[in-house]
């Protein structure tokens, strides 16, 4: 057997193992989903009745939305704007420092 056929066999075996593992995981997910799914009894009545609990949840949700909208209008926080003159960036500071050290040390008299 030459090297080319051996490498093809190793490649096919590796790909087969990978795809086999993917299929096994896929089947395990299907089985676990089927076993852990909540089974709800089918209701005979087609109409949906309004319960007091559902009404109170709706009222709470509407109240939360109204409060959020009122708070959003009343807030005084605004995004900060950048100053008109740019502060020296770290990159510029590094470049200027390097230029000064390349030229030599400066002595103050």
pLDDT-based confidence at 21, cuts 50/70/90?
Answer: very high
Q: pTM of the predicted model, to two decimals?
A: 0.35
DSSP for 14-80? HHHHHHHHHHHHHHHHHHHHHHH---PPPPS--SPPPPHHHHHHHHHHHHHHHHHHHHHHH----PP
Summarize pLDDT for 61-78 with one digit per residue, the tens: 999 999 988 888 776 777
């Amino acid at each position: 057997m030459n090297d080319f056929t051996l490498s093809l066999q190793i490649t096919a075996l590796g790909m087969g193992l990978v795809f086999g593992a993917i299929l096994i995981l896929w089947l395990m997910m299907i089985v676990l989903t089927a076993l852990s799914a909540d089974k709800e009894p089918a209701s005979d009545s087609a109409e949906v009745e309004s319960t007091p609990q559902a009404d109170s949840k709706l009222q709470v949700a509407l109240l939360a939305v109204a409060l959020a909208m009122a708070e959003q209008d009343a807030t005084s926080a605004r995004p900060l704007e950048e100053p008109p003159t740019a502060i020296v960036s770290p990159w510029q500071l590094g470049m200027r420092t390097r230029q000064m050290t390349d030229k030599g040390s400066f002595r103050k008299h």
